[in-house]
């Protein structure tokens, strides 16, 4: 496990060099994992149960995720060169952002309170 001040934790399997990334949500109530299984999984941190599995048919390896300030939405970036916006309450895909020529391996999102 490797972590830093950014709130992102990486877990490496040293035998396979497989990396999963963990991102913490609002008030530490949610955690999202991104993975090579083509999904992002959102977990409740109070009991570590799966809240949502976010998956799209065309989506490939999910590299990164970022919660909105209120943790109602989640952005994901994947190897299919798309960024996606997910509604966490409904578990639905709200929007896809295209235009990158290569995989989206990192996301940064600035959300401001109104």
Do residues 77 and 63 make contact, with C-beta atoms less than 8 angstroms apart?
yes
Domains of the chain: total: 1
| Parent domain of 25 | 2-97
* DSSP 8-state code for residue 46: T
Q: How many Cα atoms occupy the beta-carbon half-sphere of 31 within 13 Å? A: 17
| Choice between 14 and 106, residue whose per-residue pLDDT is larger | 106
Q: How many Cα atoms occupy the beta-carbon half-sphere of 1 within 13 Å? A: 6
The Cα 96–Cα 72 span in angstroms is: 17
> Does 106 map to a domain?
no
Neighbours of 76 (CB within 10 A): 25
CATH number at residue 6: 2.40.10.480
pTM above 0.85, yes or no: no
pLDDT computed for residue 85 by the predictor? 95
pLDDT tens sequence across 52-96: 999 988 778 888 898 888 889 999 999 999 999 999 999 999 999
């Amino acid at each position: 496990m490797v972590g830093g001040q950014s709130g992102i934790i990486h877990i490496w399997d040293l035998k396979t060099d497989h990396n999963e990334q963990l991102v913490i949500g609002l008030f530490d109530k949610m955690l999202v994992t991104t993975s090579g299984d083509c999904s992002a999984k959102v977990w409740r941190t109070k009991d570590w149960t799966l809240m949502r599995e976010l998956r799209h048919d065309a989506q490939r390896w999910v590299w990164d995720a970022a919660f909105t300030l209120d943790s109602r939405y989640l952005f994901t970036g994947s190897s299919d060169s798309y960024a996606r916006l997910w509604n966490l309450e409904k578990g639905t895909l709200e929007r896809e952002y295209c235009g990158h020529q290569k995989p989206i391996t990192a996301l940064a999102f600035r959300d401001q309170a109104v």
